[in-house]
Amino acid sequence: MLLVNPILAPDVILEPTDISAAKEVFDLINKNRIHLQPWFPWVKYTQEVMDSIVFLQNCRQRAEKGDVLTFFIKVKDKIIGLIDIHKLQVEDEIPQIGYWVDADYEGKGYVSQAMQLLLDFYFKTYIDKAIIAIHCAVENLRSKQVAIRAGFAYERMTTTVIDGSLEKIDVYVLPFKNYQRVL
């Protein structure tokens, strides 16, 4: 298991997820339910604090296996969203970054800072990995902009089944050779 300490930037902290924050995470999801639902099918299955407890336990178990690293995005000691790197141990798959943030904190640069912190961590820690990707819904313009600002390049559009529906997904990639730290 990779032990990770909080990762700091001027305005943002990435802190490894912990079950003790389950109520805060649930309340944040509940507050942003309408905002998150179009992009994340898991929102409709998050109906009580216990669902967030199970999710955070799963994050811990998958981190111990080395498959996923999930962080709280924190501003002034308040959780405003989550960001992760998943598919770290999946052969023939490019690791991917996923993220979501409280609607009240969109457009303020926090997700871009969190992305930069995560990319710095990823490329320093996983030196054998030469590339990372972001997959986002074709209609999710904000996520596309985060990817582009972080230096990712559009690679292709693909389709995948999400919650029983065929969805169009844009794939953005960032090879290490193109990575530039901007913080």
- Distance, in Å, from the CA atom of 69 to the CA atom of 118, rounded to the nearest integer, reads 10
So what CATH class is 7-178? Answer: alpha beta
Domain boundaries, the chain: 7-178
Predicted confidence (pLDDT) per residue in 36-81, tens digit? 988 888 888 899 999 999 999 998 998 888 888 999 999 999 999 9
Predicted model pTM: 0.89
Pairing label, strands 153-162, 96-101 = unpaired
| Count of Cβ atoms closer than 10 Å to residue 95 Cβ | 19
CB 118 within 8 Å of CB 130: no
Predicted confidence (pLDDT) per residue in 146-179, tens digit? 999 999 999 999 998 877 878 899 999 998 887 7
In angstroms, the Cα distances linking 56 to 38, 71, 135, 161 are 22, 10, 22, 24
